[in-house]
Amino acid sequence: MDFDFTPEQIAYRKHMRDFMEREVAPVAQMNDRECKFDMEVAKKIFKEGFLGCPVPEKYGGLGMDYIAYGLMTEEVNRVCSSTRTLFSVQTSLVALTILKWGNEEQKKELLPKLCNGEYIGCYGLTEPEAGSDAGNQQTRAVKDGNDYILTGQKVWISCGTIASHALIFATVDPKLGHKGISCFIVDTKSKGFSAAAIKGKLGLRSSDTATLYLDQVRVPKENMLGAEGDGFKVAMSALDNGRFSVAAGAVGLVQGCIDESTKYAMQRKTFGKPIGEHQQVQAMIADMVADCEAGRLLYLRAAHLKNKNVRNTLETSLAKLFCGEAANKAAHNAVQIFGGYGFSDEYPVERFFRDAKVLNIYEGTREIQRLIIAQDALGIRNANGAPTGRMTELAGASA
């Protein structure tokens, strides 16, 4: 395993750090306070060509590897979790899913426009009765000649009111359970499609989150992604990429907590010295740094497997679980280090604290990640489809 980054990966990371510091950091706090999705910021990201960065150049992306993509995702989330959600949804959940499952025509039509921001995508899996139990889709797709008619409701959909295209999962044959689900690329201007913003969120306040309503939306059969009945596999493969970007983003949040807390701890004085010289404050900082480094290695290992095109559901789940927990712990400690000032949005750690919670809810809750990991360890169900031996090779060697 090579622990060195290439000059290109370092350059991409620096480019993103400079961009986020210059364009997003000055407005992140105000947008959060006003619960405003900032289209001007989004347009700057589109213009930089950051969206869809791991998409091959022939489809309009930057063709970068997953290590660079992870490092860039970290940098986005170091400053703003809401911006990272836009970046992740468009790149991981939508563009990379179309790259994997789309036919040539779909890829040529959609990917360049998703990469330059002309199109905005959203991923519509969750329903009022289908969150963790994603196979329990109630949205129906009824075949009608060369079209399908979609009816149902999706909840908690990131980018739902701003999307031009939605990946909608719907069941064609409820008797088949999850094997009856198909995925459709739906133009959100279609008759019968509407979206309503969800207000009053704990965090991600400058991210667009919506309920989608589909009332007999007619979708041509050419807009099916994958074959009929492939929908659940499409959804899960999208989550393998989505969870990766959540994990990298979570490490970014931890890094943001470290950067803010170390700065503050050397400025704020109590009992005649900077609070950073008190051992209990140092312990909180040390825990953040240890978790940050460990989390980074976990998501980079998943990135390494993705680069080799090796199935990585287990490694991605491990990264998502660990990094989500690490982000919550770090944000909790960062607020503590700031004392009373951590309780106010004068400093970003208050926003980090609220934004961290969603990291162990969306794209498979903390409990669902534990289920995947434990079932694999117990030999009940191989997360990667077959035993990989990757997790146990040292144990095997010493036996």
Query: In sequence order, what are the residues at sequence separation of 6 or more whose Cβ sits closer than 8 angstroms to the Cβ of residue 208?
Result: 37, 86, 158, 159, 160, 161, 162, 197
If one asks whether residue 126 binds ligand FAD (CB under 6 A), the answer comes out as yes
Continuous segment of H or E residues that includes residue 157: strand 147-158
- The residue with tokens 């563009």 is 95
User: Per CB under 6 A, which region of 1-9, 292-300, 366-374, 377-385 contacts ligand FAD?
Assistant: 366-374
Instruction: Return the residue of 371, 375, 382, 391 that touches ligand FAD, per CB under 6 A.
Output: 371
* CA R_g for the chain: 21
If one asks whether residue 171 binds ligand FAD (CB under 6 A), the answer comes out as no
Alpha-carbon 245 to chain mean position:
4
CB 275 → ligand FAD: shortest distance, Å? 33
182 SS3 class: strand
Nearer to ligand FAD, 125 or 321 (CB): 125
273 SS3 class: strand
- The residue with tokens 């997360």 is 383
User: CA angle 250-23-302, nearest 5°?
Assistant: 25
If one asks whether residue 87 binds ligand FAD (CB under 6 A), the answer comes out as no
Active-site pick, 118, 293, 363, 393: 363
Nearer to ligand FAD, 199 or 273 (CB): 199
If one asks whether residue 156 binds ligand FAD (CB under 6 A), the answer comes out as yes
Instruction: Return the residue of 92, 209, 333, 369 that touches ligand FAD, per CB under 6 A.
Output: 209
Told to judge if 363 belongs to the known catalytic residues of this protein, a careful annotator would answer: yes
CB 250 → ligand FAD: shortest distance, Å? 14
If one asks whether residue 37 binds ligand FAD (CB under 6 A), the answer comes out as no
Instruction: Return the residue of 79, 170, 204, 321 that touches ligand FAD, per CB under 6 A.
Output: 204
Positive/negative CA dihedral, 19, 20, 24, 26? negative
Q: Residue 127 is which amino acid?
A: E
Residues that bind ligand FAD (CB under 6 A): 89, 122-126, 131-132, 156-158, 204, 209, 358, 361-365, 367-368, 371
Active site positions, annotated:
363
